[in-house]
Amino acid sequence: MTTYMMERTRNKHALLTRWDDSKLNAYEAYVDSVRACIYLAVELYEDTTQIRSSPKSRAELSLELIEAVRLRGRAFERVMLLAGDEVVEAAHQLTAAALKVDWLAQGKTEGTLDDWRDLNRAVFREINEFHEAARVDLGVQGSVKGEKHPQRDLLLPPARRNEDTNS
């Protein structure tokens, strides 16, 4: 009976570890896909608004963003299959914020440069919320926000920051 109980406990632990590994991989892939979309959206937005030109055409940038959004959707579905309730909700919130960035970059919605920056700030806040929920779900100690981790702002080149304050 003791051997049976030890074996059962060991198998249960192995199963939990396997699911934690799968969750970690899904969470990492999802955040990576969100960030890939953001970087492509930034390149498209900057080219479209003539902030900075891209060596790629707008059509190429748009197609790359569309493909990245498709991959983000696949990664999101994997999170939906494996995550707990809080992570699922955080993923929904993050996806909604990321879509607003995509839409402005693609010209589906309108907005100013300040609106653009606000949308990017919001999506990075949601990434932190997703990280927080994922850490709790995985049983990781500590936090990615709070007193020890103050909220950070977008990193902007000094020249751009000075131009924006003079306008």
3-state secondary structure 70-106: HHHHHHHHHHHHHCCHHHHHHHHHHHHHHHHHHHHHC
- Residues forming beta bridges with residue 146, ordered by sequence position: 149
Does position 148 have pLDDT exceeding 70, yes or no?
Answer: no
Q: Kindly report the CA angle at 23 between 17 and 27, in degrees rounded to 5?
A: 145
Residue 126 pLDDT greater than 90, yes or no: yes
Which among 40, 29, 5, 4 is positioned nearest to 130, based on CA atoms?
29
Q: Please determine, for residue 14, whether its predicted confidence score (pLDDT) is greater than 80.
A: no
Give me the amino acid identity at 84.
Answer: G
Q: Are 123 and 94 in contact (CB under 8 A)?
A: yes
Note if the pTM is more than 0.85.
no
> Which pLDDT score, from 0 to 100, does residue 7 have?
75
pLDDT digits (tens, 9 = 90+) for 63-82: 999 999 999 999 999 999 99
More confident residue, 158 or 32: 32
**pLDDT score at 9:** 76
Q: Which residue has the higher pLDDT, 152 or 139?
A: 139
Which range among 4-8, 35-39, 106-110 shows the weakest confidence by mean pLDDT?
A: 4-8
Distance between CA atoms of residues 110 and 87, nearest Å: 30
Please report the domains of the chain, with CATH numbers, ordered by start residue. 24-141 (1.20.1440)
| N-term to C-term CA, the chain | 78
The tokens 């990193």 sit on which residue? 155
Q: What is the mean pLDDT of the chain?
A: 87
pLDDT digits (tens, 9 = 90+) for 18-50: 678 899 999 999 999 999 999 999 999 999 999
pLDDT band at residue 167 under the 50/70/90 scheme? very low
